[in-house]
Amino acid sequence: MGSNFFSTTIGEQITLQRGFDITKKEQQEGNVPVVSSGGISSYHNVSKVEAPGVVLGRKGTLGTVFFVEKDFWPHDTSLWVKDFKGNNPQFVYYFFKGMSAELKKMDVGAANPALNRNHVHPLQVEWPRREVQDQIVSVGAALDQKITLNNQINQTLEQMAQTLFKSWFVDFDPVKAKMNGEQPKGMDAPFLSKEVASLFPEKLVESELGLIPEGWDIASIKDFGSVVCGKTPSKKNDEFYGGDVPFIKIPDTHGKVFITETTDTLTQAGDESQPKKRIPENSICVSCIATVGQVFITTKPSHTNQQINSLVPYDQNSLYYLLFKFKGLNKHFHDLASGGSATLNMNTSTFSKVALVRPTADLLEAFHKTVGGLMEKMLANQLENATVSELRDTLLPKLLSGEIDLENVQVEQAKALAE
């Protein structure tokens, strides 16, 4: 480890402080993040701490660590770094991220998990000197930036596909242009060639969902494919878990269009224990209990838990149409799930019967081909992010502990990947 690291305690390097209590009633409209044990929980108009900041889960959720880049209000359920004592704040963030599992084990709560800062401060650690901290941060930050950039690109790609979907299937722009004796907009662009424009009718007709293009019809979700409600294999059987089959739960889906990785997996035995619950690649899934309206696509044969309903399309050309259609039905799904109970629940029967506008097969195929390149790029970016995340999470702990130095070949590979 050499002279770049020295033995010390956490309390000698940073000072942790308990966050500040604030009720929902006390909060005023503003853009100051209130950071709790689960991350940003709300916003306020007054900050308590200047950025940059590092926040740890103190109560309720332990092991969480957040880096805050703007002035913020650390909630009472958190611990925050009051004094970095000359250390690199982002290094401190990476350090505590590497301690996540250990922080979870330091639970001193009775009814609710709780972390005591006085138990964290005395912990003996090997600590790098500031110049080494800065070098480690440069590696981690480059990988983080690569992930952020890919996410931003994906947001743009999704917005492009969403805009086209809205024009064709919500606003019916090509149809209305024809009704007005005009050429549909974008006919000179690849998104709406003359061949595609010819697939749109010149008239709107009444339907149970309002005006729709002539020749289109209304169909329920179950008319587009087979609906599968997920199920959790028995937790009592250890042989069912830890294989290669994705087992999708709602936390795996946040911010994702495609599911490329999951926290839990099933073995072949777990998969075969409920074959009717297996869904293939390119199934569309919708969360229907508690957190309602998350919509995503599978990338390999998978299972989901019972909080998720999946649609296996009869026609793969309807895949992206249904994806954006379901995303646009978020409020409707919430309304169907309310039902007067405390927990939102849209059951499989209700989900299956939701009525949708169904365009002609030729138009569904045209839309699928038109946005296909955008969606494939999004999937490629997500897969790259999974690779970068795995490398970061493998590499940083080794750098933080001094197990490998900054001249290691893995570091050079990380730098190349981040470019």
With a pLDDT cut of 90, the percent of the chain lying above it is 80
**Segment among 123-137, 323-337, 390-404 with least mean pLDDT:** 390-404
Strand duo 241-248 + 264-266: pairing:
antiparallel
Q: How far is CA 179 from CA 172, 204, 383, 409, in A?
A: 11, 9, 44, 64
Confidence at residue 341, expressed as pLDDT on a 0 to 100 scale: 65
Is residue 63 left, alpha or beta, with left meaning phi > 0 and alpha meaning psi from -120 to 50? Answer: left
Over residues 117-145, mean pLDDT: 95
Tell me the two tokens of residue 285. 């899934």
pLDDT band at 192 (very low <50, low <70, confident <90, very high): confident
Domain ranges of the chain: 5-128, 217-358
Pairwise CA distance, residues 58 & 37, whole Å: 6
Asked if residues 304 and 230 have their Cβ atoms less than 8 Å apart, the reply is yes
pLDDT tens digit sequence for 346-370: 999 999 999 999 999 999 999 999 9
Rounded to a whole number of angstroms, the CA Rg of the chain reads 25
Confidence at residue 405, expressed as pLDDT on a 0 to 100 scale: 84
Confidence at residue 401, expressed as pLDDT on a 0 to 100 scale: 86
Over residues 331-352, mean pLDDT: 87
Mean pLDDT estimate for the chain? 93
pLDDT tens digit sequence for 47-68: 999 999 999 999 988 989 999 9
12, 28, 200, 36: which is closest to 120 by C-alpha? 12
Confidence at residue 188, expressed as pLDDT on a 0 to 100 scale: 47
Alpha helices, DSSP H only, in 218-280? 221-224, 268-272
> Could you confirm whether domain 5-128 is CATH 3.50.50.60?
no
With a pLDDT cut of 70, the percent of the chain lying above it is 97
17, 25, 19, 71: which is closest to 47 by C-alpha? 71
The total of other beta-carbon atoms located within 10 Å of residue 318's CB is 23
Instruction: For the domain made up of 217-358, give the CATH fold.
Output: Adenine-n6-DNA-methyltransferase TaqI; Chain A, domain 2 (3.90.220)
pLDDT tens digit sequence for 95-116: 999 999 899 999 887 678 889 9
Asked if residues 35 and 74 have their Cβ atoms less than 8 Å apart, the reply is yes
Confidence at residue 108, expressed as pLDDT on a 0 to 100 scale: 82
Q: Answer yes or no: is pLDDT of 24 > 90.
A: no
Q: What is the pTM of this model?
A: 0.84
pLDDT tens digit sequence for 219-268: 999 999 999 999 999 999 999 999 999 999 998 998 899 999 999 999 99
Over residues 375-393, mean pLDDT: 94
Over residues 19-30, mean pLDDT: 91
DSSP 107-154: ---SSS-B--HHHHTT-EEEEE-HHHHHHHHHHHHHHHHHHHHHHHHH
Confidence at residue 331, expressed as pLDDT on a 0 to 100 scale: 93
